[in-house]
Structure 1
């Protein structure tokens, strides 16, 4: 089986009815369909790389190709984990966890998206909590970072609810216009002090070498 050679396919994070897992190609089809339907309201901005503005088929293909590309470029030092988010088996979006020079920095970054039909239900918070549990409790991360546009308050509220602290601003160009992002940082100590739901993790042990973590 492919999971014998790529054990990440057997990794599972579960919080109640919400399961996060690296997507199989069958899962990717379901997640691409969610992206096809859209994940942002007209006039809003989600990512500095504006793939969410693409036509529906191109959005769907971006999701598929992004997973394939990052899987192919994975190394124990620099990795990008794509986790499909499923509620009672139904695909609702994705949660990302990235480690750059992870063995030395012990720092991760996160990103996420949810289909429009699944927003406003607290699923983004649960998915981030599961990913942070993996990072801090299982992989011994020391900090986690993220960023959101200052005019996109929903993800900022989620981050601050989870204990992140403001970590400065960045200015970039998007479609020829200046956009400002709020950087946020969560220390291991602040994460440990936050209330959070229990997270069940299975299938991690054979994956640890791929994360650059001793088994």
Structure 2
């Protein structure tokens, strides 16, 4: 699509492909949301969208991508990829930036279908967007956060070299819960073999960056 080149942007790793979703991809991602993305009773998200019935979870999964595409601007963007593994859509990995041309800082968030967890996919898909951010877009920092009772997410961050960056308190359901902020500086990032970026150059202005000469 000439006027929205993001649909051709992909990041590939030894096992995964990250891409903006087609409508069929969104259907598959919605199925993952309906199946479940965490154990019952837990809540790893500040907005408890997984408390909704399966059909509502599926519908909201589709809608968030439409909202992000419609709201995208070079000064404020959220790029949510679907994650394909062995030909199946297994989850989503987001990378977001505000005033990125000035801050050179991105944030990340993700979820993975429950039955695809504990396979190393979560670490690899986060590493993929870090490769896009640092090697592709020239980011200087990447940030993330997780509730302190979400050790899986924090373990992924620490495995990838993030350092603790303070505690915040947020509402979660009908109570308060602590979130651990984490930050990864470019100099602490380690590039991985077999990670490749495809179709980035036409997208650079949409990320607030000048086109390559």
Q: TM-score, normalised by structure 2?
A: 0.97
1:155 aligns with 153
Cα deviations across residues 114-163 of structure 1 (Å, max 9, x unaligned)? 00110000000000000000001110111000000001100000000100
**What aligned pairs does 1:1-215 form with structure 2 within 5 A after superposition?**
3-191=1-189, 194=190, 196-215=192-211
1:31 CA displacement:
0.6
User: Matches of 2:130 and 2:52 in 1, distance apart?
Assistant: 29
1:17 CA displacement:
2.6
1:197 CA displacement:
3.5
User: Matches of 2:15 and 2:34 in 1, distance apart?
Assistant: 24
SS class of match (1:4): coil
In the comparison of the two structures, how many residue pairs are matched? 211
SS class of match (1:196): coil
Q: Is the 8 A contact 1:46 1:152 kept in 2?
A: yes
1:62 CA displacement:
1.3
User: Matches of 2:44 and 2:147 in 1, distance apart?
Assistant: 7
Cα deviations across residues 88-112 of structure 1 (Å, max 9, x unaligned)? 2200000000001111111000000
Query: What 5-or-longer segments of structure 2 have no aligned partner?
Result: none
1:201 CA displacement:
1.1
Cα deviations across residues 17-44 of structure 1 (Å, max 9, x unaligned)? 3100000111101111111101010121
SS class of match (1:5): coil
Q: Is the 8 A contact 1:93 1:113 kept in 2?
A: yes
1:195 CA displacement:
5.7
Moved over 3 A (4+): none
Instruction: Please report the RMSD computed on the Cα atoms of aligned residues, expressed in angstroms.
Output: 0.9
Q: Is the 8 A contact 2:80 2:93 kept in 1?
A: yes
User: Matches of 2:157 and 2:60 in 1, distance apart?
Assistant: 25
Cα deviations across residues 50-107 of structure 1 (Å, max 9, x unaligned)? 1122111111111111000011000011100010000122000000000011111110
Q: Is the 8 A contact 1:12 1:202 kept in 2?
A: yes
Query: What 5-or-longer segments of structure 1 have no aligned partner?
Result: none
